[in-house]
């Protein structure tokens, strides 16, 4: 838009279409894209025009961007008629000269209010361009400085916000942490954190429970034998014997008692001691047992102290009577 564009070559001279302009026009730019040579980014370019009416060629500075050379000629840059345009590229003390382009400049009818300006010299154009570049560079530096300061401020604010958020989170954890198992029972909503102290307490309790269960398992599975003592004043040995085994809280007693004394009805005779204490609050009574070769008339009792007694009911027992017994119960 608003630019006359041409492809140019510097390694070979090609057929060119003349560029047509009107004298006095200074709003149209000329743009030449060099297709067979890569122009360095540090290069400068000058466009020269010559007309037979000129004593010597005129020159104007160009812009160079990625091998594209462009400039906007002033209103009096071209003379009416056929002009020759040639571009010189300068870089690192060396020059690259383009082939000539033909510029056909048409005349105007002449405007009485026009005031032509004298063409600026190349030195003036160069000074103007350098001043503009310095101004652009200063503006760019100022912009970069402002952007850097803004970025630093934004980063600082973000860092402070992050630190504040982390501090608030840490404070929330401290405020909502639970350090004992008793406090856990009071929790009714989400958002609380269990402290390592509470976990330590829980682990300690679990260890205790595990030890208790281990002991209970050992007790439940082990068979323990109790050495009970026969009362030799009331029973005859070796005709009498008693055996007591315990698995957990289950007690099994069996034996034989040959009494050496007569026992009247509704009387008690102690035959042994050392049995595990029953779990009931009162004495433990067994089912009825029979005298040898007769019917059931007696039963046994295990007292709170672990004594095993023979209880005779409505028929007395005589000295020499033999009683066989076997029973189980739950002990403390």
Long-range contacts of the stretch 153-159 (C-beta < 8 A, 24+): none
How far apart are the C-alpha atoms of 262 and 317, rounded to whole Å?
A: 6
- Are residues 210 and 287 both part of a single domain? no
Q: Do 215 and 231 reside in the same domain of the chain? A: no
Say whether pLDDT at 315 is over 70.
yes
Please report whether residue 65 resides in a domain.
yes
Whether residues 202 and 248 share a domain: the answer is no
Is residue 95 domain-shared with residue 36, that is, in the same domain?
yes
Does residue 85 share a domain with residue 18?
yes
Percent of all residues in the chain with a pLDDT value above 70, rounded to a whole number: 87
Number of separate domains in the chain: 3
Are 233 and 322 in the same domain? Answer: yes
Among the listed residues 10, 19, 17, 16, the one whose alpha carbon sits nearest the alpha carbon of residue 45: 10
Q: Please indicate, yes or no, if residue 297 is contained in any of the structural domains.
A: yes
So what's the pLDDT on residue 116?
A: 47
Q: Which domain holds residue 314?
A: 225-330
Q: How confident is the model at residue 297 (pLDDT cuts 50, 70, 90)?
A: confident
What's the DSSP call for residue 153?
H
pLDDT digits (tens, 9 = 90+) for 244-270: 999 988 999 999 999 999 999 999 999
Give the C-alpha separation, 134 to 131, whole Å. 5
Whether residue 281 sits in one domain with residue 204: no
> Region 195-211: what's the mean pLDDT?
80
> Residue 178 above 60 pLDDT?
yes
d(CA 112, CA 123): 31
In this predicted structure, what is the pLDDT of residue 276? 94
What is the rounded CA–CA span in Å between residue 95 and residue 62? 14
Which of 52, 81, 109 is at the close of a domain? 109
pLDDT of residue 296: 66
Residue 86: inside a domain, yes or no? Answer: yes
The enclosing domain of 13 has a CATH number of: 2.60.40.3350
Residue 165: inside a domain = no
Q: Which pLDDT score is estimated for 219?
A: 66
Angle at the Cα of 321 (from 319 to 322), degrees rounded to 5?
140
Do 265 and 321 reside in the same domain of the chain?
yes
Same domain, 68 and 95: yes
Task: Look up residue 63 and give its two tokens.
Answer: 């812009």
Asked whether residue 54 is domain-assigned, the answer is yes
Asked whether residue 285 falls in the same domain as residue 321, the answer is yes
- Given a cut of 80, whether residue 294 has pLDDT beyond it is no
Residue 293: the pLDDT is: 64
Measure the CA–CA gap between 289 and 308, rounded to whole angstroms. Answer: 14
Residue 180 pLDDT more than 90? no
User: If 0-12 CB within 10 Å is exposed, 13-18 middle and 19+ buried, where does residue 49 land?
Assistant: buried
Q: Where are the alpha helices (DSSP H) in the chain?
A: 122-175, 181-184, 196-221
pLDDT of residue 118: 47
Separation of alpha carbons 77 and 139, rounded Å: 31
Domain contains 63: yes
3-state SS class at 258: strand
241 and 325 in a common domain: yes
């Amino acid at each position: 838009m608003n630019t006359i564009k041409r492809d140019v070559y510097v390694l070979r001279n090609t057929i060119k279409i003349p560029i047509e302009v009107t004298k006095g026009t200074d709003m149209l730019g000329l743009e030449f894209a060099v297709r067979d040579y890569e122009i360095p980014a540090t290069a400068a370019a000058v466009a020269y025009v010559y007309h037979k009416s000129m004593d010597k060629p005129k020159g104007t500075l160009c812009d160079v961007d990625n091998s594209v050379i462009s400039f906007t000629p002033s209103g009096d840059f071209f003379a009416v008629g056929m002009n020759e345009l040639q571009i010189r590229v300068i870089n690192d003390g060396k020059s690259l000269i383009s082939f000539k382009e033909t510029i056909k400049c048409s005349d105007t009818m002449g405007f009485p209010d026009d005031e032509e300006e004298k063409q600026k010299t190349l030195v003036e154009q160069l000074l103007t361009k350098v001043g503009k570049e310095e101004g652009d560079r200063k503006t760019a530096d100022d912009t970069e400085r402002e952007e850097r300061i803004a970025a630093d401020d934004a980063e600082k604010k973000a860092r402070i916000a992050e630190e504040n958020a982390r501090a608030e989170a840490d404070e929330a954890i401290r405020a909502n942490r639970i350090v004992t198992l008793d406090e856990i029972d009071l929790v009714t909503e989400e958002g609380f954190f269990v402290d390592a102290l509470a976990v330590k307490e829980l682990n300690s309790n679990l260890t205790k429970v595990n030890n208790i269960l281990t002991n209970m398992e050992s007790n439940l599975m082990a068979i323990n034998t109790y050495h009970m003592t026969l009362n030799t004043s009331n029973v005859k040995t070796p005709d009498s014997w008693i055996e007591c085994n315990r698995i957990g809280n289950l007690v099994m007693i069996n034996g034989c008692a040959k009494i050496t004394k007569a026992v009247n009805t509704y009387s008690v005779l102690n035959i042994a001691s050392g049995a595990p204490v029953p779990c009931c609050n009162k004495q433990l009574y067994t089912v009825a047992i029979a005298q040898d070769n007769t019917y059931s008339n007696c039963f046994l009792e295990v007292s709170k102290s672990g004594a095993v007694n023979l209880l005779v009911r409505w028929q007395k027992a005589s000295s020499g009577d033999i009683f066989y017994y076997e029973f189980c119960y739950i002990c403390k």
